[in-house]
Chains A and B, each alone.
Chain A
Amino acid sequence: MGLGATRGVALVGMAGAPVDVEAFVTPGLPAFVVTGLPDASLGQSRDRVRAALAGIGCSLPSKRVTVNLSPASLPKQGAGFDLAVAVAVLAAEGVLAREVVRGWTHLGELGLDGRLRPVRGVLPAVVAAVGAGCPRVVVPRENAAEAELVPGAEVRSASSLAAVVRGHGGEVDGACDPDEDVAPRAPAPVAPPRLDLADVAGQAEARRAVEVAAAGGHHLLLVGPPGAGKTMLAARLPGLLPDLGDEEAVEVTAVHSVAGTFDAAGGLLRRPPFEDPHHTATTPSVVGGGSGVVRPGAASRAHRGVLFLDEAPEFRKDVLEALRQPLEHGSLVIARAGGAARYPARFQLVMAANPCPCGRASGRGDACSCAPLERRRYLSRLSGPLLDRVDLQVEVTAPSRAALAVGAEGESSAVVAARVRSAREAQLARLGGSGARCNGEAPGALLRGRLRLPAAVVGDLDAALDRGRLTVRGYDRVLRTAWTLADLEGTSAPDRDHVGAALLLRLRGRAA
């Protein structure tokens, strides 16, 4: 009669919960029972564990093996418990010392030949293990770099169950190591091409808007005819953003680790992510979802980065409306059978849209062939509540032949990024302590309190509010943009011109 125990980690969304994996071997008809709310893939771990144990010459005893995953009421998913189950069984059988394995957390999926396969979500799992006071973890070799990103973790990596057993001081058939070369290697990720702002011809106004958006973390809407360069401009926004700080980088990396879109070889994700879902995207693909297990969607993968919706009015209405919650709270809570998961989703929203279905209704709109009703309806698909949250709304006109012919290159991304960086530093110094990192996140109470502007400066704004051209939320948002404009110029506070320019940027040039 033997009892063995070790630890694993269950992930619910981004939160990891330490799980005690206990194995109990008793005389009885041979059976392998897994209790503690396993899902299908975890329930099948018994067959993988059975084969892997046989592979290292420690066949399962012809006895009753009960594996319990405690807390038993927490639903658990995935194959990441395979290694913990195998180690617990070996400890119950006395192959491994019980006191040794009890202090380790094991993560990893087993192959039938005893090979250890990488799993998703290692970063948040290791964070949870360290947080629970169990910093010693065993992970598959492919996940080692990811696990080592967690401060305080004592990481041991292995490529097979045999190596894990030897690492814990057990003895196994050495000949049963899986052939290292057979392990499939992920293809090296292709580095995305560097997009430079210098590639954009003309478009001084729109470039300015992109710069302001980058500097203050403001949401941006670009409206213009096809071919004007909206997508080009939007795709160059992430290149202007400063690198992520340590804390942000861990957050972002954890989301991508859970989403399975993270390659640990490059270390923590330091660059703001860029997500551009196609306009046919469904709500679960954008906000996250899935049956049983909740996976992060594009909005969460764009956390601390840019979520770009090209042809925004073509997106389904429910998709656009679902973005209102993350825009306001910076996170998404999604409930499914497997539990409610909270994913961070503090992204910068960038939308591009044609002015009408035919796309030619900009400027005087002479070339537009749409019926007036169609034209009116098109942009109104972006609902008022959504647009109210977008600080910068800019018309992009097709560059004239003259602008192309002059060939004067615009400023490069590096030059603009330097300005953005110094503007961000000024914001951080001013907003420090309020929890906000940039003007786009500055709390309204702060703007109307400590950072209140004199009445002479905000006169135009007050008038717009009185005339109903602005909502109260819009009022705050214009103030935020004005601060960003001042920061970009290096002045200590916005003046009347900054506020006016901010108002124009918000109202697509149709101010008051």
Chain B
Amino acid sequence: MRTTDAVGRYGEQVAVAHLEAAGMRVVARNWRCTTPVRGEIDVVARDGDALVAVEVKTRRCGPAGAPAAGHPFEAVTPVKAARVRRLLVAFAETTGERAGALRVDAVAVLRPSAGPARVEHLRGVA
């Protein structure tokens, strides 16, 4: 588990860098909640008027260049995306952040055995 935790933390750093480069402002990281929904938002960011919860998934790639454990986005199921959305509502209520729109994004970080990480960003998955 420790290895994957490290990979995850690394991925989140890459994702935050990517989001900021895309003009988004990070509001919170690893925001946890138990009620009304139990879970964690990897990154909460502002994109203009919108408040965005970002689910980050990271995978290491095998020698062939493809992630052995499947593409990161395959781990973002509709159920999970919906839960992140409910968490985002809870976040907005708890912190009093005001937003014109709520959005859930997914970011995939693919870490090859050599060279820079590849980042894919999907907007509005839930």
Contacts and interface: CB of A to CB of B under 8 A. Distances in A.
B71 A29 contact: no
A27 B122 CA distance: 7
B125 interface: yes
A62 B125 contact: no
A292 interface: no
A365 interface: no
Contacts of A31: 78
A30 interface: yes
Contacts of A27: 122
B36 to A, nearest CB: 24
A20 to B, nearest CB: 27
Interface string A23-42: 00001111100000000000
- Grouping DSSP codes into helix (H, G, I), strand (E, B) and loop, the A interface class, with mixed when no group exceeds half, is loop
Interface centre among B73, B76, B77, B122 (most CB of A within 10 A): B73
Interface in B48-95: 71, 73-74, 76-78, 81
- Grouping DSSP codes into helix (H, G, I), strand (E, B) and loop, the B interface class, with mixed when no group exceeds half, is mixed
B118 to A, nearest CB: 12
Contacts of B71: 30, 62
A118 B125 CA distance: 39
A28 B122 contact: yes
A1 to B, nearest CB: 14
Nearest to B81: A29
Contacts of A28: 122, 125
Interface in B12-35: none
B45 interface: no
Contacts of A62: 71, 73-74
A33 to B, nearest CB: 11
B41 interface: no
Contacts of B77: 29
B74 A30 contact: yes
15 contacts: A27-B122, A28-B122, A28-B125, A29-B73, A29-B77, A29-B78, A29-B81, A29-B106, A29-B122, A29-B125, A30-B71, A30-B73, A30-B74, A31-B78, A62-B71
Interface of A: 27-31, 62
